[in-house]
A and B are shown apart, each in its own frame.
Chain A
Amino acid sequence: MNKLNYFTQLKALMRKEVQQILRDKQLLFLLFFMPILQLFIYGFALSPEVDRLRLGVVDHASSTVSRALTAALVVNDVFELKESGGRDAALAALVRDGALDAGLIIPADLERRYRAGLKTNVQVFIDGVDANSAGIAAGYVSQILASFNRNLSSGSQESREIISPQISFAYNPGLISSWFFVPGVIALVLNLVSTLVSSAALVREKDSGTLEQLLMTPVSSKQILLAKIVPLAALLMITVAVALLVSVLVFHVPFRGNLLLFLFVSFLAVLVGISIGIALAAYSENQRQSLLTSFFINLPVIQLSGAIAPMESMPEFFQYLSYLDPLRYYVICVRALLLKGGGFSEIWIEVLSLSVYAFVLLSLSSSRFRKQLK
């Protein structure tokens, strides 16, 4: 076969592929609307903020000091004052029923003991079901009480202890939680969209029997597959661009790294997704089967990648398991490139691992798919 002919055929096949995808509303939805939708929901719904906890106060002292204490807890929005029921038992019941997040009981002799210079304990109880928020809230209570005591004894706002840690936050000084989730969602959505669209594009030909017709034509199975992969990869890179634009324009996530490197790792991630899609198509008879099987793969791939819950918090076993997850490397790369501004020297291990995964998965899945064609 002469070379010119080869490329003419390939071009014709690719044109057919692009037209077919652009005609399919379901695939268009996945490619361009899904990333926007998912970024919006994840970005606006997920937030680990610990504030506006519903606090009920039973103030048996009802004195100047006790009222100042309540005010100190509420002033910076960590707590929000709610109806307490007035009695200790009622307050406890409200917390038990989930109507309040925390309770404060101030003993009657607070003012008297305070004037006499005696130490007084106030009772604070926090709903510990959400272990993470409760731990942070408990820390806040101690800090608020410590500064309250300092203010009481010195009368000034800014009296400091002998050792004062000067704490600053790197990469995300405003502690904006969406900055953590948005890079993760870019990875998550790219994985979902690339596997679903590519498996649909391939299995559709099988399902409708047009694959046999294609095989009757002079084109080789290699050309068929190549003509599937190239347009898909190109369209999925547009998905990447859409996701990046939404992240930067809507969520104001900084882009501190190298854009070319970002596009390169995204391209690798797209190839990984397409490989999974090809494998799904190779093992499925119809679209229903490939779509349902994709749940069995995408659920663990996403859960173990650290896209949503931080990788470092996972139990050790799952952290090791995540080395098998190609998405893990992409998540690390995206966070590093967007937030930390790292270059190749910081993330070369991840880039290398991702390249290996992309190469191995693509070769395995395409040889499996081509074997079926023969």
Chain B
Amino acid sequence: MKKVLAQIGKEIAQFRRDKLTLALAFFLPFVALLLYGYATRLESKNILVAVKNFDTGSLSRDYIDTLFATGQLQAAPFRGSGVDIMEPLDKDGVKAAIVIPPEFSRKVSRRERAQVQVVIDACDVNNARVVKNCIIASTNYFLRSKDLQTTRNLISPQVRLWFNPGRDEALYVAPGAIAVILWIFPCLLAALAMAREKEQGTILQLYASSLSSFELIAGKTIAYTLIALMQAALIISASFLLFGLRFVGDITVFFLSLVLFLYSAVAFGVFAGTRATTQSAAVQIVATTGFTTALLLSGFLYPLRNITYPLSLISNVLPARYFVSAARNAFVRGSDFGSQLYIPVSIAIAAFVLYMAASKILRRMQLKG
């Protein structure tokens, strides 16, 4: 035990000495939080839409007003004659074009069918859907408000969005960003520390010492988990201040998951460090296998159910995936204690496997006796 404590002391002393490592530990995670938390949004507001109105009546003007009433769509000048509906797309950032035919008002007031042509730039599939839904909803609202509906809506849905009624995307992105950041950076630091011993040859001294591989890894992982806890304190309190996150649910599961999650990130880093011969190779292993998977397969940006089959298997064993859920449950959903126990259990299994893998590799290299 004393040996492990001495190791922890040595690791933290080494960590504090290097300015670049300190910036990597505390400054870059903060920048990453700002970039992910503020600049990552999936849904556009104020989408520019150009409307060409060939009609002269008042109904078409009312209809256009309804389209722009919610504020999601914003009117832009229609460049072109209106014969080619594609023409205004791409000019001045216009994402959709609408053409209202002549005789629109006359036809509608006589309750005849009038067709409105819409074309949407679908490069960004998600926002193309947003625009489509918006136009359909506004059209239905217009028909209802003018009493033009052909059918009576006998059954109508009362749709409510739970936990996030204002559809504030920060509540979705920020908890996910916390999870991704607290995976990447602790992992990177631990990998660097482990690979440094190998690169500088000091690991041979450790092999030759009486320290067992188990103790060696315990010292390293505990030291870097302590550092990771400081990173977590910084990142979580920053997101409380910047994004207005609050604990709304059971916090015991969250904190239990947090400690296990940080430990598993560090264990993964140590594992990557034992596989690499140089520090730059260690960084590359972590960047390709840790960074990309945490960012893409954890459900941080898009729903987990959309990940295609063989990749979804990898997603299932990622601790980051479980911690993204834990963060969203604790900060937004306010889930029960009992329903979330699978989260810390899954993360603990991952941490254990990574720890054993790292110590097994080291044991093979250690001197016998």
Whether A associates with B in a native complex is yes
**Contact: B288 with A37, CB < 8 Å?**
yes
Does B280 belong to the interface (CB within 8 Å)?
Answer: yes
Stretch of B75-83, B165-173, B221-229, B354-362 on the interface side: B165-173
Contact of B167 among A113, A134, A153 (CB under 8 A): A134
Stretch of A2-10, A42-50, A262-270 on the interface side: A42-50
Does B339 belong to the interface (CB within 8 Å)?
Answer: yes
Does A163 belong to the interface (CB within 8 Å)?
Answer: yes
Please judge, given known A-B contacts A127-B333, A132-B169, A136-B130, whether A312 and B95 are in contact too, CB under 8 Å.
Answer: yes
**Contact: B334 with A96, CB < 8 Å?**
yes
Stretch of A144-152, A213-221, A274-282, A359-367 on the interface side: A144-152
Please judge, given known A-B contacts A45-B308, A96-B336, A339-B123, whether A126 and B137 are in contact too, CB under 8 Å.
Answer: no
Nearest chain B residue, comparing its CB with the CB of A317: B38
**Contact: B157 with A309, CB < 8 Å?**
no
Does A230 belong to the interface (CB within 8 Å)?
Answer: no
Chain A 129-169 interface mask (CB, 8 Å, partner B; 1/0): 11111111011111101101110111000011111111111
Please judge, given known A-B contacts A139-B133, A169-B119, whether A48 and B302 are in contact too, CB under 8 Å.
Answer: yes
Does B266 belong to the interface (CB within 8 Å)?
Answer: no
List B contacts of A335 (CB < 8 A): 123
Please judge, given known A-B contacts A288-B279, A292-B283, whether A159 and B335 are in contact too, CB under 8 Å.
Answer: no
**Contact: B160 with A124, CB < 8 Å?**
yes
**Contact: B333 with A312, CB < 8 Å?**
no
Nearest chain B residue, comparing its CB with the CB of A183: B123
Q: Which of A52, A138, A173, A295 has the most CB of B within 10 A?
A: A295
**Contact: B161 with A120, CB < 8 Å?**
no
- Nearest-CB distance from B70 to chain A (Å)? 11
- Nearest-CB distance from B36 to chain A (Å)? 7
Please judge, given known A-B contacts A49-B306, A310-B42, whether A169 and B280 are in contact too, CB under 8 Å.
Answer: no
Does A208 belong to the interface (CB within 8 Å)?
Answer: no
Does B116 belong to the interface (CB within 8 Å)?
Answer: yes
Please judge, given known A-B contacts A162-B114, A170-B89, whether A48 and B125 are in contact too, CB under 8 Å.
Answer: yes
Nearest chain B residue, comparing its CB with the CB of A151: B151
Nearest chain A residue, comparing its CB with the CB of B111: A162
Q: Which of A93, A123, A127, A304 has the most CB of B within 10 A?
A: A127
**Contact: B139 with A165, CB < 8 Å?**
yes
- Nearest-CB distance from B38 to chain A (Å)? 6
- Cα A42 to Cα B295 in complex, Å, equals 10
* Chain A, interface SS category: helix
Please judge, given known A-B contacts A179-B125, A300-B31, A310-B124, whether A163 and B41 are in contact too, CB under 8 Å.
Answer: no
- Cα A48 to Cα B111 in complex, Å, equals 38
List A contacts of B169 (CB < 8 A): 131-132
The contact size tier of chain A is 35 or more
Contact of B302 among A47, A171, A200 (CB under 8 A): A47
List B contacts of A317 (CB < 8 A): 38
**Contact: A130 with B172, CB < 8 Å?**
yes
- Cα A304 to Cα B35 in complex, Å, equals 8
- Cα A291 to Cα B161 in complex, Å, equals 44
Please judge, given known A-B contacts A180-B125, A310-B44, A318-B39, whether A122 and B157 are in contact too, CB under 8 Å.
Answer: yes
Please judge, given known A-B contacts A161-B143, A167-B118, A170-B122, whether A340 and B154 are in contact too, CB under 8 Å.
Answer: no
**Contact: A163 with B165, CB < 8 Å?**
no
List A contacts of B334 (CB < 8 A): 96
Does A225 belong to the interface (CB within 8 Å)?
Answer: no
- Cα A213 to Cα B298 in complex, Å, equals 48
Does A69 belong to the interface (CB within 8 Å)?
Answer: yes
How many residue-residue contacts, CB under 8 A, span A and B?
A: 349
Does A38 belong to the interface (CB within 8 Å)?
Answer: yes
CB within 8 Å of A: which of B117-161?
117-130, 132-137, 139-140, 142-143, 148-161
**Contact: A299 with B35, CB < 8 Å?**
yes
Does B28 belong to the interface (CB within 8 Å)?
Answer: yes
**Contact: A41 with B328, CB < 8 Å?**
no
- Cα A124 to Cα B121 in complex, Å, equals 31
Please judge, given known A-B contacts A49-B306, A125-B159, A313-B44, whether A175 and B125 are in contact too, CB under 8 Å.
Answer: yes
Does B20 belong to the interface (CB within 8 Å)?
Answer: yes
Does B43 belong to the interface (CB within 8 Å)?
Answer: yes
**Contact: A69 with B142, CB < 8 Å?**
no
**Contact: B328 with A129, CB < 8 Å?**
yes
Nearest chain A residue, comparing its CB with the CB of B136: A143
**Contact: B41 with A150, CB < 8 Å?**
no
CB within 8 Å of A: which of B12-62?
20-21, 23-24, 28, 31-32, 35-36, 38-45, 47
Does A176 belong to the interface (CB within 8 Å)?
Answer: yes
Contact of A126 among B63, B127, B161, B336 (CB under 8 A): B161
Please judge, given known A-B contacts A26-B284, A134-B164, A136-B130, whether A161 and B150 are in contact too, CB under 8 Å.
Answer: yes
- Cα A287 to Cα B279 in complex, Å, equals 9
Nearest chain A residue, comparing its CB with the CB of B121: A170
Does A99 belong to the interface (CB within 8 Å)?
Answer: yes
Does A19 belong to the interface (CB within 8 Å)?
Answer: no
**Contact: A309 with B122, CB < 8 Å?**
no
Chain B 91-125 interface mask (CB, 8 Å, partner A; 1/0): 00101001000000000100111111111111111
- Nearest-CB distance from A243 to chain B (Å)? 15
Does A172 belong to the interface (CB within 8 Å)?
Answer: yes
CB within 8 Å of B: which of A314-362?
314-315, 317-318, 335-336, 339-340, 342, 346
- Nearest-CB distance from A258 to chain B (Å)? 16
In the A-B complex, the 5 residue pairs with the closest CB atoms: A139-B133, A128-B161, A169-B122, A128-B164, A97-B339
B residues contacting A by CB (< 8 A) are: 20-21, 23-24, 28, 31-32, 35-36, 38-45, 47, 63, 86, 89-90, 93, 95, 98, 108, 111-130, 132-137, 139-140, 142-143, 148-165, 167-169, 171-172, 192, 278-281, 283-284, 288, 292-293, 296-297, 301-303, 305-308, 311, 315, 325, 328-329, 332-336, 339-340
Given contacts A96-B162, A128-B165, A165-B118, 9 further A-B contacts (CB under 8 A): A50-B303, A123-B158, A130-B303, A135-B133, A161-B148, A291-B280, A299-B31, A300-B31, A346-B90
12 contacts between A and B (CB under 8 A): A47-B307, A47-B308, A126-B161, A141-B157, A143-B133, A146-B140, A153-B151, A162-B111, A167-B135, A167-B136, A168-B120, A175-B128
A residues contacting B by CB (< 8 A) are: 26, 29-30, 34, 37-38, 41-42, 44-50, 52, 65, 69, 93, 95-99, 110, 113-114, 117-136, 138-143, 145-146, 148-150, 152-154, 159-173, 175-177, 179-180, 200, 287-289, 291-293, 295-296, 299-300, 303-304, 308-310, 312-315, 317-318, 335-336, 339-340, 342, 346
